[in-house]
Amino acid sequence: MRQITTIALSLFLALPAMAQDAYQIAAEKAFYPLTECPVSTNPLDGSIGPAIDVVHNGRVVRVCCKNCVEEVADNLQRLLGRIDRAHIRAQLNGYPLTTCAVDDAKLGTKGRPVELLHGIRLVRVCDQRCAAAFKKATDAPMKKIDDRLIAAQRKGYKPTTCPVSDTALKTIAQPQEVLFHTHLVKLCSKECAVAFKKAPGSFYGKLSQKQAKPAGKKLAVLHVEGMT
């Protein structure tokens, strides 16, 4: 899976800026955590017009109208803070680890755990020291989280075909397993895994809505790194 992620990153970096924005929107849209515009608080359900997706510094912000688009750049950090807190709350229920992603200490034994985001993925660590260590080396902690998420969803996985080729998964001895955000996706080959990474939003939409989702104890946000 790590090799596939590296290939996808290389493909993403090779895209022109506008194509990168479109890719980012497609990849994040299904998991965007707010139902209202972070600028005006108007609903994003289309009742006052189609929501507008904009990308700033690699992050997706959804707003209700063109007037709010102009406000995003001037208030970016405040708006991203609100979006980040919503991403964290949305993922706490299914977060798979009860230990620090960096040093494996049980969360809560060293004081308040720290919640931070890697992209839009939740990572929980035991203290600020581990938060700093995570920022320097993310691969190993993310692999712990990814492996646990995949294991938790493997048994209850519902889709029966590869979302790229429509090949029946039961005919494949060892399907490729990748994560789209925190959701397991099984594909029939490495080629399909790479194709999925190129356009994850469109292929993910083909999957059954009955796909198993991460399960876990509901938690409260204790401390979000870099936010108040």
In the chain, where the domains are located: 1-15+157-211, 32-92, 94-152+218-228
Instruction: Count the alpha carbons within 13 Å of 134 in the hemisphere toward its beta carbon.
Output: 27
Closest residue by Cα to residue 204 from 164, 153, 146, 145: 164
Q: Report which DSSP code applies to 79.
A: H
43: helix, strand or coil:
strand
pLDDT score of 95 more than 60? yes
The DSSP H or E segment spanning 195 is helix 190-198
Q: What percent of the chain has pLDDT over 70?
A: 83
Query: Which long-range contacts (C-beta less than 8 Å, at least 24 apart) are formed by 166-173?
Result: 167/192
Q: Mean pLDDT throughout 100-124?
A: 96
The H-assigned helical ranges of 93-155 are 128-136, 139-154
Residue 126 — pLDDT band, cuts 50, 70, 90?
Answer: very high
Amino acid 202: pLDDT: 82
The DSSP H or E segment spanning 70 is helix 66-72
Structure tokens at 172: 């494949």
The H-assigned helical ranges of the chain are 2-13, 17-28, 66-72, 76-92, 128-136, 139-154, 190-198, 200-204
Residue 228 — pLDDT band, cuts 50, 70, 90?
Answer: very low
Q: Mean pLDDT throughout 128-152?
A: 97
CA–CA distances in Å: residue 125 to residues 83, 181, 182, 226: 20, 19, 18, 14
More confident: 216 or 201: 201
The pTM score is 0.80
How crowded is residue 76: how many other Cβ atoms within 10 Å of its Cβ?
A: 14
pLDDT for 26-77, tens place per residue? 888 889 999 999 999 999 998 989 999 999 888 899 999 999 998 998 999 9
pLDDT for 203-217, tens place per residue? 888 775 444 444 444
Closest residue by Cα to residue 169 from 160, 158, 180: 160
Structure tokens at 169: 């998964």
The whole-angstrom separation of Cα 100 and Cα 224 is 14
Q: What percent of the chain has pLDDT over 90?
A: 69
